[in-house]
Amino acid sequence: MEVSLKEHRSRVWSIQVSKDNSQAVSASSDGSCILWDLKKHSRLLCMFETTAFKQALLNTEEYQVLTVGSDRKISYWEKFDGQIIRSVEGSGSELNTLDITAEGKHFVSGGQDGVLRIWNYDEGICYYAGEGHSGAINKLKISPDQRKIVTVGSEGAVFLWETPNSIVQDRVEAELPTLSKQ
């Protein structure tokens, strides 16, 4: 072990390291997300909210942080100063997980209601929703080729969803309101 960085006061749910390995963002149940400098082994900034953060992600260009948590919101944070840019109602229930597409134009979310949602990043609008889990979606990941989304539910199910062609082709077509599972 090289160093131990401890500032969170409760469970850390997620950590994402930047592409160049110089920074990381962590999300905690204590209501804080911390942006870390991994070279200097110090905190760069801390974002606070009245929620138990479940996941924090750097966007594709790594200038913003997306968060989800117990407040049912998806929040966009400015990485420069830690201010909230946008906050959208993501679900009627607690949100647990999210992932962003490789091109950064869409992201997916899942939570306690068991619904997988695909969002347009810039608009903050949900264009697709898929139901299938009988419990919460605990974790999800978009495949490297962007054609599939894998979700893991609290009931023990693992679903493989086909990403709508409009997302894969980097354009949004709202005519396809639901997702299909395999």
Work out the pLDDT band at 90, boundaries 50, 70, 90.
very high
Q: Is residue 98 part of a domain?
A: no
Q: Domain check: are 80 and 119 in the same one?
A: no
Q: Is residue 96 part of a domain?
A: no
Mean pLDDT of the chain, nearest integer: 92
List, for residues 58-79, the tens digit of each pLDDT value. Answer: 999 999 999 999 999 999 999 9
Domain membership of residue 144 (yes or no) is yes
Residue of 71, 80, 35 lying closest to 52 (CA atoms): 71
In a domain, 101, yes or no: no
Same structural domain, 1 and 83: yes
Residues 69, 35 share a domain: yes
The partner residues of 83 in beta bridges, in order of sequence, read: none
Query: What is the per-residue pLDDT for 169?
Result: 66
The CA distance from 169 to 165, in Å, is 6
pLDDT tens for each residue of 5-48: 999 999 999 999 999 999 999 999 999 999 999 999 999 999 99
115 and 156 co-located in one domain: yes
Considering only CA atoms, which of 128, 136, 162 is closest in space to residue 72?
Answer: 136
pLDDT score for 166: 78
pTM of the predicted model as reported, rounded to 2 decimal places = 0.88
Whether 100 is covered by a domain: the verdict is no
Copy the structure tokens of residue 173: 């077509």
CATH number for position 81: 2.40.10.480
pLDDT 10s digits, 127-144 = 999 999 999 999 999 999
Quick one: 123 and 176 in the same domain?
yes
- If one counts the domains in the chain, the total is 2
Residue 140 lies in a domain: yes
- For residue 69, the one-letter residue type is G
Enclosing domain of residue 67? 1-89
Same domain, 116 and 67: no
50 and 122 housed in the same domain: no
Residue 47, in any domain of the structure: yes
Where does a domain end: 36, 59, 89? 89
Distance of CA 48 to the CA centre of its chain: 17
Q: Among 126, 12, 125, which Cα is nearest to 117's? A: 126
- Asked if residue 97 is part of any domain, the answer here is no
Written as one letter, the residue type at 78 is E
Q: Which of 89, 120, 149 is the last residue of a domain?
A: 89
